[in-house]
């Protein structure tokens, strides 16, 4: 999505040059949030998640199924997995994330899944069915959404996580406890403050062993323990790749010596950009709106260099300052959040009751940095204007 939206924005701002989108997946760009929800629940096909593309307006070349293996800033080129080299004047790194996977003593693969791509979702959908025993490792948004979806398909679902409270570190303990309660009323079993130590089976998983000594029956094992940024192809260019691609406030890549690269940009989940609200370290934000906003910003930066003065009212010195947004549909309830709740040093229940609809406010040094809740969508939308920027 980050690559496609960057190309669309470049054309919107009248970029005159050739645009080439490179990707390691064979699919054209598609929408990922439905993968854990409607696509998985209804066994939808690719057409239901693919983005519409106006080819004539976009005027962009696509290379699919042949991802980038190596970048050479010295030669201003990228080398693809096939060995083909492509020169560039500007390069946008929008390679996103991949699912983390653990290594176990009995490192079985049969019955083992992660969810990041369309193909991942289809593989899980083909494997599940009524009565299947599913163990999900991880109690983050993906783990909880998949748990809700698979429970609706008749599976028995257990969630194992190292945390004491699902989403507690993101939304706070009271919010997380309420999410857990709602899942448990639907039959989801939690094994928290725990972890999987090994997989049991010959060619396919039949059980998982936990650190507390328990053994859980398991037909389908889904790892939802977070993501790693796809930055290996950027190595060898003196870039800061500590956690994703470090960028400046204009989303230009930053070298290990602190200098910015004028023609290399980070877009979406891969970009680790400064927090210009507070004196805090740069961070990556894995929310759906970040690829949208960072692609627009990057396109403006590129067009400004190619055709100076062509974008009225755009000042490059104004740092990239998005308002992070996310939502999560689980069973019959939906979580909506604006801002960065994890930055809070104070959390307040503003309105409603935990067992019904409610809104939490997240403050740092007395200033509102985030708002999140279940239900009350219009009121949460109204509050986003009060979040410090």
Backbone phi, psi, residue 3, to 5°:
-65, -45
pLDDT at position 342 over 70:
yes
How far apart are alpha carbons 334 and 310 in whole angstroms?
Answer: 42
Is residue 131 within 8 A of residue 154, CB to CB? The reply is yes
- CA 300 vs. chain centroid, Å, equals 23
pLDDT at position 389 over 80:
no
Whole-model pTM: value is: 0.94
Residues of the chain with CATH 3.30.390.30: 332-386
Q: Which residue is it, tokens 């328990």?
A: 214
pLDDT at position 309 over 80:
no
C-alpha closest to that of 305 among 93, 89, 94, 92: 89
Q: Which two tokens stand for residue 332?
A: 């019959």
pLDDT at position 115 over 80:
yes
Q: What is the pLDDT of residue 113?
A: 98
Q: CA neighbours within 13 Å on the CB side: how many for 295?
A: 22
Mean pLDDT of 77-83: 98
For the segment 220-267, what is each residue's pLDDT rounded down to a tens digit? 999 999 999 999 999 999 999 999 999 999 999 999 999 999 999 999
Looking at domain 2-98+228-306, which of 3.40.630.10, 2.60.110.10, 3.20.20.70, 3.50.50.60 is its CATH number? 3.50.50.60
Q: What is the pLDDT of residue 317?
A: 66
Q: How many CB atoms lie within 10 A of CB 70?
A: 16
Residues of the chain with CATH 3.50.50.60: 2-98+228-306, 101-225
Query: Band of the pLDDT at 316, cuts 50, 70, 90?
Result: low
Q: Backbone dihedral region of 162: left (phi > 0), alpha (psi from -120 to 50 degrees) or beta?
A: alpha
Report the CATH superfamily, name and number, of domain 101-225: FAD/NAD(P)-binding domain (3.50.50.60)
HEC secondary structure over the chain: CHHHHHHHHHHHCCCCCCCEEECCCCCCCECCHHHHCHHHHHCCCHHHCECCCCHHHHCCEEECCCCEEEEECCCCEEEECCCCEEECCCEEECCCEEECCCCCCCCCCECEEECCCHHHHHHHHHHCCCCCEEEEECCCHHHHHHHHHHHHCCCEEEEECCCCCCCHHHHCHHHHHHHHHHHHHCCCEEECCCCEEEEECCCECCEEEECCCCEEECCEEEECCCEEECCHHHCCCCECCCCCEEECCCCEEEECCCCEEEEEEECHHHEEEEECCCCEEEECCCCCHHHHHHHHHHHHHHHHHHCCCCCCCCCCCCCCCCCCEEEEEECCEEEEEEECHHHCCEEEEEEECCCCCEEEEEEECCEEEEEEEECCHHHHHHHHHHCCC
CATH class of this structure's domain 332-386: alpha beta
Query: Band of the pLDDT at 388, cuts 50, 70, 90?
Result: confident
């Amino acid at each position: 999505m980050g690559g496609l939206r960057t190309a669309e924005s470049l054309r919107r701002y009248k970029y005159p040059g050739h645009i080439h989108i490179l990707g390691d997946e064979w699919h054209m760009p598609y929408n990922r949030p439905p993968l854990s929800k409607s696509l998985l629940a209804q066994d939808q096909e690719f057409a239901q998640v693919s983005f519409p593309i106006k080819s004539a307006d976009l005027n962009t070349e696509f290379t699919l199924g042949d991802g980038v293996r190596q970048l050479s800033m010295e030669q201003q080129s990228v080398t693809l997995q096939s060995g083909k080299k492509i020169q560039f004047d500007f390069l946008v790194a929008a390679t996103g994330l991949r699912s983390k996977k653990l290594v176990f003593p009995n490192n079985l693969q049969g019955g083992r899944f992660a969810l990041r791509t369309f193909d991942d979702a289809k593989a899980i959908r083909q494997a599940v069915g009524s009565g299947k025993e599913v163990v999900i490792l991880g109690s983050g948004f993906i783990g909880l959404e998949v748990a809700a979806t698979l429970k609706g398909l008749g599976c028995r679902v257990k969630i194992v996580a190292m945390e004491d409270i699902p989403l507690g570190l993101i939304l706070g303990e009271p919010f997380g406890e309420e999410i857990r309660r709602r899942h448990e009323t639907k039959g989801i079993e939690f094994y928290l403050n725990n972890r999987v130590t090994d997989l049991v089976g010959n060619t396919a998983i039949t059980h998982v062993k936990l650190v507390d000594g328990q053994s859980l029956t398991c037909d389908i094992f889904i790892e939802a323990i977070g993501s790693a940024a796809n930055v290996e192809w950027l190595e060898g260019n003196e870039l800061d790749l500590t956690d994703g691609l470090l960028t400046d406030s204009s989303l230009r890549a930053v070298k290990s010596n602190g200098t910015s690269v004028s023609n290399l940009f980070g877009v979406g989940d891969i970009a680790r950009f400064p927090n210009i609200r507070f004196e805090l370290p740069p961070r990556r934000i894995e929310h759906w709106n970040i690829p949208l906003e960072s692609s627009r910003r990057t396109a403006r930066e590129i067009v400004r260099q190619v055709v100076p003065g062509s974008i009225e009212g755009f000042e490059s010195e104004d740092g990239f300052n998005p308002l992070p947004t996310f939502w999560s549909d689980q069973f019959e309830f939906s979580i909506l959040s604006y801002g960065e709740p994890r930055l809070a040093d104070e959390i307040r229940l503003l309105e409603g009751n935990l067992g019904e609809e409610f809104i939490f406010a997240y403050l740092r040094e007395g200033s509102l940095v985030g708002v999140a809740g279940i239900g009350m969508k219009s009121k949460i939308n109204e509050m986003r204007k009060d979040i410090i920027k």
